Amino acid sequence: MTKTTPQFAALALAAIMTVATVAGMNGIATKQYAVADTLAMAPYGQTHVAQQTVTIVGHRATA
């Protein structure tokens, strides 16, 4: 797949940057969700712990 050291370095950097970007977006989204949830529950005098759940559903096609 990679033939030279610069190609390997570029591929490794791209993979690291992709993981870092996704992790950063998840952190920001979680923080914003918690703030929005707190503001939404405040008028009712309720305290709620913001929690996100991800469900991955896979379908296997049979030929």
Q: What is the pLDDT of residues 27-43, one digit of tens each?
A: 888 888 888 888 887 77
| 30 closest CA partner among 7, 61, 4, 54 | 54
- Bigger pLDDT: 38 or 54? 38
> Does residue 56 register a pLDDT over 60?
yes
- For 13-49, b/e burial (b = at least 16 CB within 10 A) is eeeeeeeeeeeeeeeeeeeeeeeeeeeeeeeeeeeee
Global pTM exceeds 0.85: no
**Burial status of residue 4 (CB atoms within 10 A of its CB: 0-12, 13-18, 19 or more):** exposed
Domain assignments of the chain as residue spans, ordered by start: 1-63
Q: What is the pLDDT of residues 6-25, one digit of tens each?
A: 899 999 999 999 888 888 88
Return the biggest CA–CA distance within the chain.
Answer: 62
